[in-house]
Amino acid sequence: MSKEPENSLEQRSAERRARAIVHRASSHADADDWDLEFWQQQTPEERLSALVVLRRDAEIIAAGRLRSKVEEP
């Protein structure tokens, strides 16, 4: 019987869902207010970390788009 790796996709997904902070907005204004309050509650380090992750994701997406354009006939 094989043991699943401790860091399986399912496990990581469950852990991420458990950490997620969510809000169902009733309007765009409500979403804006909640978003502002959420980010104001984060420490500067947490905000910077989120920015780094977003930038890294954007760079990966941009690189993928460039590769797909090069591969097109």
Q: What is the mean pLDDT of each run of 10 residues along the chain (73 residues)?
A: 67 90 95 96 96 96 88 67
pLDDT at 73: 63
Task: Measure the CA–CA gap between 2 and 49, rounded to whole angstroms.
Answer: 36
pLDDT at 62: 95
Contact 51, 68 (CB under 8 A): no
21 Cβ neighbours under 8 A, 6+ residues apart: 38
Could you tell me the sign of the dihedral formed by the alpha carbons of 7, 8, 10, 16, in that order? positive
pLDDT at 46: 96
Owner of token pair 């977003």? 54
Q: How do the domains of the chain map onto residue ranges?
A: 9-41, 43-73
